[in-house]
Amino acid sequence: MPELYFVNENKKINVEDGMNLRVVSNDSGVGVYSNIFKKLFNCRGKGMCGTCLVRIEGEKIEPPNEIENKKLKKKLPKDPNLRLACQLTISSDLKIHTL
């Protein structure tokens, strides 16, 4: 069972393998959105808006998918640890930095 550690919030949670990071963080009370406007006005997990951007650290992290590559094409070369929480499936322990 993977353990997520939200660094800025100093919160650890255990989750089922295969869960979506955006769903898990919202269900656990840790918001991946940096302000109220992004929380209210987002694409609801479709990968279209980029408001659920997080920085992650971990050993086994799936590579960015096509949606992330398209949305983050200017940011990923500079910081390959940036991901969209709505597109990330959890498969191992992760440290998450909300932005």
Helix (H) or strand (E) holding 71: helix 66-71
DSSP state of 10: T
Fold observed for domain 3-98: Ubiquitin-like (UB roll) (3.10.20)
d(CA 30, CA 28) in angstroms, rounded, equals 6
Paired sense of beta strands 94-98 and 82-84, if any:
unpaired
Domain boundaries of the chain, sorted by first residue: 3-98
Would you write out the chain's pLDDT as a tens digit for each of its 99 residues? 999 999 999 999 999 999 999 999 999 999 898 888 888 899 999 999 999 999 999 988 989 999 999 999 999 999 999 999 999 999 999 999 999
